[in-house]
Amino acid sequence: MLPLLLRVKKQQEIAVIASGRCVTLRMALQKIWIPIHEPQHFSFEECLRFLGRSDRECLHYIQQGKVQRMLLSAGTPVVVEIGPAPKPEYLEVTVLAPVGGEVAEEPIKQFITHWLHLDASLQPFYDYTNTDPLLKGLAQEYHGLRLIGMPDLFEAITWPIIGQQINLAFAYTLRQRFITHFGYHAVVNNTDFYLYPHPAVIAALEPEVLAPMQFSRSKAKYLVETARQMASGYLSEAVLDEMSYEAALERLVSIKGIGNWSANYALMKYRRFPQSVLLEDVGLQNAIKNRLNLESKPSMTALKEYTRPWKEHAAYATFYLWRSLLPQ
């Protein structure tokens, strides 16, 4: 872990002695505006509802209608606060730390655009929901919700490994332990901020190190093995970014511990392949059961029938059905 502790105020005060007087200067915080594609189909409030679904979340925090998180900008850890801008076609990002020097804007714009899918076009999906009995009404109910992604490939592929075969609450507990123990940490405004662990950090571990955190033996082994595949270059963002959906799926499932569900989750959240559908996902199965008032979860055969027409709308259909499981 890097030995850096950031403690700042939103307005940093600097005492300057000049002409025998003590003058207090306030350093303005850097502001960045990020454009939203189809702002008429964007709801920051809906995105916040999804982002706030767990009290064990430690990569971002929601405060007073805004979200704060740490990210990397050209290799520099940066803490930002994201909220609505005066113009509805933008989000406003305030750099909370570090204070005093300009940070590179483009990596911040790219990260947040990917994370909140600000460049998405929802109109085709919304039009399609009117033709599918299973999806009808979802566009109106959760209008403006974007498919919250994961710009970090290692996070996107290890989060489903962590969550395999356990309930969501315990999965978040394990994820929180994983991040707080191995991730980069800084304190800003008396709040703990973290970056997701780097693959090289986890690749250097032996799986037994994760046992005291209640990771199963197989899950610990899969996490370390995945990290080593990334550290070796066999799996990387650069490699995956050049692949088709089929090739990327094949590459991911070739890694021990990554099955069809985990691979499609990563391809949906990181690569944003629109055809990604998680047929094995319990949440999707329960959402379909609820929507159709079925007595039990649908069979795999039935799931394939329900989802076959979705095609390029599969990822958003899955995400909106997940949203239907959360409280209003």
Instruction: Report yes or no: 71 and 109 within 8 Å, Cβ to Cβ.
Output: no
- In the chain the domains, ranked by start, together with CATH numbers, are 31-119 (3.30.310.20), 121-146+274-328 (1.10.1670.40), 150-271 (1.10.340.30)
pLDDT of residue 99: 76
Residue (of 162, 202, 163) closest to 182 by Cα position: 202
**Would you please indicate which residues are annotated as catalytic (active-site) residues?**
281
pLDDT of 18 over the 60 cut: no
Residue type, 290: N
Give tens-digit pLDDT for 77-119. Answer: 999 999 999 999 999 999 999 976 789 999 999 999 999 999 9
pLDDT of residue 22: 37
pLDDT of residue 27: 59
Distance CA 176, CA 178 (A): 5
pLDDT of residue 298: 95
pLDDT of 59 over the 90 cut: yes
pLDDT of residue 43: 98
- Per DSSP bridges, beta strands 76-84 and 66-73 are antiparallel
Share of the chain above pLDDT 90, in %: 87
Give tens-digit pLDDT for 259-285. Answer: 999 999 999 999 999 999 999 999 999
User: Cα Rg for the chain, rounded, in angstroms?
Assistant: 21
pLDDT of 9 over the 60 cut: no
